[in-house]
Structure 1
Amino acid sequence: MLVNLKSLLAFAKKNKQSTNGLECEVNNMVRRRKSQMIRGLAGKKKGPLNRSKHVGIEIEFDSASSLGDIFADFTDAGLSRHVSLVTDCSVDSWLRDGDDWDDDEGYEVRIIDTQKNIANTLKKVCDVLKKHKAEVSSDCGLHVHIDCRSRDTSLVFKNLLKAQKLLYRLVKEDRLNSSYGCYRDIHTATQDSRHRFGIEVSRINTVEVRMHHGTVDFNEINNWINLLTKIAGKRTKYKRKDYVSPLSLLNAISLEKDKKKGIRSILKSLVDEGRDHGFSTLMCY
């Protein structure tokens, strides 16, 4: 169809006929076809690079820049093997007002790399997002996938579940009032296919943590990932009836002293305030 329109346009020009309407239609079709090709390339799914433990990250955001411009910079930064970029219908765009059908949607960048290299890749991604003045709203979230190919999925899930009270204290309070809650057990987590829980077992052999508020700040995201991977990697198995306090779990995992000190102060504030922000209903034993 596009070839025929181009041929017709060339014929009309050759015979000095009016081509205004036809030329506009051809240009629009070329633009749409180019946009579709860019979306297909940018949104191509990425998988693990090798057998090493990996981390996956999904960052929801908005930007006035086009998807093609953002992904071009990801490619220039050497990130095409690690990054996919798609539009996200769950995020309303407030920075773009164009003619494309998806200009009312925000973006989601999906990152995957080994646990060893994820910080370096994440830093490059955040630098590109900063260049394009990426912003987040209350619609946006940050999702982290913990690779369970070489881990005990049940153990990772239960470790994170036991730490839920601590983890929710580290995110914005409005996340508690969203549809994100918790599963009662791992069986329910694997059976329910709806994405509306804070911690869930995914179909791609990962445990996904969806409770964090949206952010494009490298340090905030990197610290969150470090905490989650440390908790997930703890090997002590808990019995179903065991109660493990966030403080005892914090003592058991290996975090740098300055990071542990900051989290410990948050736990202390919980006690000092004498209130729970409803966290007791989010803890599953």
Structure 2
Amino acid sequence: METQQILSNASLTKTEKIRQLLALGLTRRQVADLTGGNYGFVQNVFARYWPEQVRSRRADASADIFRFIPFNRKFGVEIEAHNISREALAEALRQAGITVAVEGYNHTTRRHWKLVTDGSLSGNNTFELVSPILEGQAGIDELQIVCRVLKQKNAYINRTCGLHIHFDAVNLELAQVKNLIVNYARFESIIDSFMPNSRRGNTNYFCKSVQGLADQVDQARTMNGLISLQRTRYQKINLQSYVRHQTIEFRQHSGTIEFEKIANWVLFLHNLVEFSRTKRVEASAATMQSLREFQQPEIVTYINNRISDLAA
């Protein structure tokens, strides 16, 4: 098939269109421009089907190498917003092919998306939209559909809204989770710089800094011991979700229904988790330059653009 035939073929998923366009010999940038402009997801597809060509990068000044891996992680999202009734939004999502139910407040993981109440939110017709377990590129594609519906139905965000990301932590070892907390804490000032002021430092009750927790992690000898060091789940990393869901929850991001923001944040966190499997950055080395060494160029570009936008 030629380029236009691939793009216009409604029977192909976005992932398959990207794969076929790459197979034609188009560059990743060309394919990204043709399929919506998200280079990160094109890179994911490229890494899945042509793993031998995936670029490797140095993770620090030594000879250690950080290797990017395809985004194949199990994850979940919680999107807080307002301005549309849960029933009306559920109907719109169903029409877009998303399986969803309107439910009361609960923490039960479903096989479908659920629209629940959240007493911490302000505004008219507030809601929290919680995903089922999503996985890899297929999960990202489904998330994009959901974000499109939210925009079409004029869902709004305000300062009380947040975005929470859960990552499956079943296969993470204790030392790796410790590294993750320490690395997040040491890069926290940089992460803060591409978040609104309301989500930085200790300014938000629902996503406090993890720097104090990072100072204590090496006291723990078991996962339960590590979790017990965290006195509240309202921190930028919530370990207490491991008890109920065997996930680690990332709570810092501000509320958004914009697919680009959510997707780039998910990929940023994915890279941070993978980096933390084998690395713990020294406090003095936690710079933007060292962060670049385990993030794809398009993620770094996105971060720099966010920093500039928020500083304006």
Q: Give the C-alpha shift of residue 262 in structure 1.
A: 4.5
Identity in percent = 24
- SS of the equivalent of 2:116 reads strand
Distance in 2 between the 1:251 and 1:79 partners? 35
Q: Give the C-alpha shift of residue 83 in structure 1.
A: 1.4
Q: Give the C-alpha shift of residue 195 in structure 1.
A: 3.0
Residue in structure 1 matched with residue 53 of structure 2 by the alignment: none
Residue in structure 2 matched with residue 33 of structure 1 by the alignment: none
Q: Give the C-alpha shift of residue 231 in structure 1.
A: 1.0
C-alpha offsets along residues 155-190 of structure 1, whole Å, 9 cap, x if unaligned?
Answer: 333333332222111110122222232232345861
**TM-score normalised per structure 1:** 0.63
How do residues 30-45 of structure 1 correspond to structure 2 at under 5 angstroms? none
Residue in structure 2 matched with residue 261 of structure 1 by the alignment: 301
**TM-score normalised per structure 2:** 0.58
Could you say if the C-alpha distance between residues 236 and 162 of structure 1 is closer, same or farther in structure 2, counting changes exceeding 3 Å? farther
- SS of the equivalent of 1:91 reads coil
C-alpha offsets along residues 81-109 of structure 1, whole Å, 9 cap, x if unaligned?
Answer: 44121011111233x4xxxxxxxxx1001
Residue in structure 2 matched with residue 71 of structure 1 by the alignment: 90
Q: Give the counterpart of 2:142 among 116, 121, 136.
A: 121
1:238 aligns to 2:257 (yes or no): no
Q: Give the counterpart of 1:59 among 69, 74, 79.
A: 79
Distance in 1 between the 2:91 and 2:118 partners? 19
Name the Cα RMSD after superposition: 2.8
Residue in structure 2 matched with residue 84 of structure 1 by the alignment: 114
Distance in 2 between the 1:69 and 1:268 partners? 36
Distance in 2 between the 1:237 and 1:107 partners? 38
Residue in structure 2 matched with residue 154 of structure 1 by the alignment: 178
1:211 aligns to 2:275 (yes or no): no
Q: Give the C-alpha shift of residue 225 in structure 1.
A: 1.0
Q: Give the counterpart of 2:234 among 149, 171, 196.
A: 196
Are 2:115 and 2:128, in contact at CA under 8 Å, matched by a contact in 1? yes
The structure whose Rg is larger is: 1
Could you say if the C-alpha distance between residues 155 and 258 of structure 1 is closer, same or farther in structure 2, counting changes exceeding 3 Å? same
Q: Comparing 83-92 with 153-162, which one deviates more in the overlay?
A: 153-162
Q: Unaligned regions of 5+ residues in structure 1, if any?
A: 1-51, 97-105, 274-285
Are 1:136 and 1:215, in contact at CA under 8 Å, matched by a contact in 2? yes
C-alpha offsets along residues 214-257 of structure 1, whole Å, 9 cap, x if unaligned?
Answer: 11111111111111111111133327x654313243232141x2
C-alpha offsets along residues 103-134 of structure 1, whole Å, 9 cap, x if unaligned?
Answer: xxx10011230133222111111112122210
Are 1:157 and 1:232, in contact at CA under 8 Å, matched by a contact in 2? no
Residue in structure 2 matched with residue 182 of structure 1 by the alignment: 209
Aligned AA (2:208): G
Distance in 1 between the 2:169 and 2:261 partners? 23
- SS of the equivalent of 1:261 reads helix
- SS of the equivalent of 1:207 reads strand
Distance in 2 between the 1:268 and 1:59 partners? 25
Are 1:247 and 1:264, in contact at CA under 8 Å, matched by a contact in 2? no
Could you say if the C-alpha distance between residues 84 and 245 of structure 1 is closer, same or farther in structure 2, counting changes exceeding 3 Å? same
Distance in 1 between the 2:145 and 2:196 partners? 25
Residue in structure 1 matched with residue 68 of structure 2 by the alignment: none
Distance in 2 between the 1:158 and 1:143 partners? 20
Are 2:268 and 2:295, in contact at CA under 8 Å, matched by a contact in 1? no
Are 1:71 and 1:85, in contact at CA under 8 Å, matched by a contact in 2? yes
Q: Unaligned regions of 5+ residues in structure 2, if any?
A: 1-71, 100-110
- SS of the equivalent of 2:137 reads coil
Distance in 2 between the 1:249 and 1:118 partners? 29
Q: Comparing 150-159 with 82-91, which one deviates more in the overlay?
A: 150-159
Distance in 2 between the 1:132 and 1:212 partners? 22
